[in-house]
Amino acid sequence: MLKVAIIAGTSRPGALNPQITAWTEKQLEAHEGIQAEVVHFNDFDLPLLDEAIPGGAHMYENDHTKAWGAKLEEFDAFLFVVPEYNHSFPGSLKNALDFVATEFNNKVAGIISYGADKGVRAAEQLRLVLANYRTAVVRGQGAFSIFTDVKDGVFAPEEVSSNTFGPMVEDLVAWGEAFKTIRENAATQAA
């Protein structure tokens, strides 16, 4: 069973993110072998980064960081549902990612982006951050326009947009299973 975290990529009140996150979760229900859970970084009461030592050292001082890291460690793969704000992804997501690092090592991620231009710039910048965490990001992504995939404030993706989701998930599963083997082999060698 591949454990997938659906990371809600913004904490902004009134955002479309809850609708797109719920749609993503529903789409994953159709895939056998996936156990998905929506994860909201704002549930961990993360302040602006307050760890003195960078996350890569995995020497967390604060309980909120330890809880956030422990939650992320549970998963084999991640799906980020991320809006584009000012040609990038939200600062609140970047802040949440800055707390941790190793929890993403040798894992895989997919990106579901949305915005005026389907959130493609946010996705590209998020890919750069995830690469630093030794996280493989599948090539395909879900990308939705706030002009064509949202009607009267309700997320209702057009078929041409939603058809990109299935192939992305297939890659996520294949890569996720491969990375599970890599992590298991590394653990065996370390023991």
Query: Are the C-beta atoms of residues 84 and 16 closer than 8 Å to each other?
Result: no
The CA R_g of the chain, rounded to the nearest whole Å, is 16
Map out the domains of the chain as residue ranges: 2-190
Q: Which residue's entry shows tokens 């040609």?
A: 87
Give the pLDDT of the chain (191 residues) as one tens digit per residue. 999 999 999 999 999 999 999 999 999 998 989 999 999 999 999 999 999 999 999 999 999 999 999 999 999 999 999 999 999 999 999 999 999 999 999 999 999 999 999 999 999 999 999 999 999 999 999 999 999 999 999 999 999 999 999 999 999 999 999 999 999 998 888 87
Query: 133-163 pLDDT, tens per residue?
Result: 999 999 999 999 999 999 999 999 999 999 9
Write the class of the CATH domain 2-190: alpha beta
Map tokens 């993110």 to a residue: 17
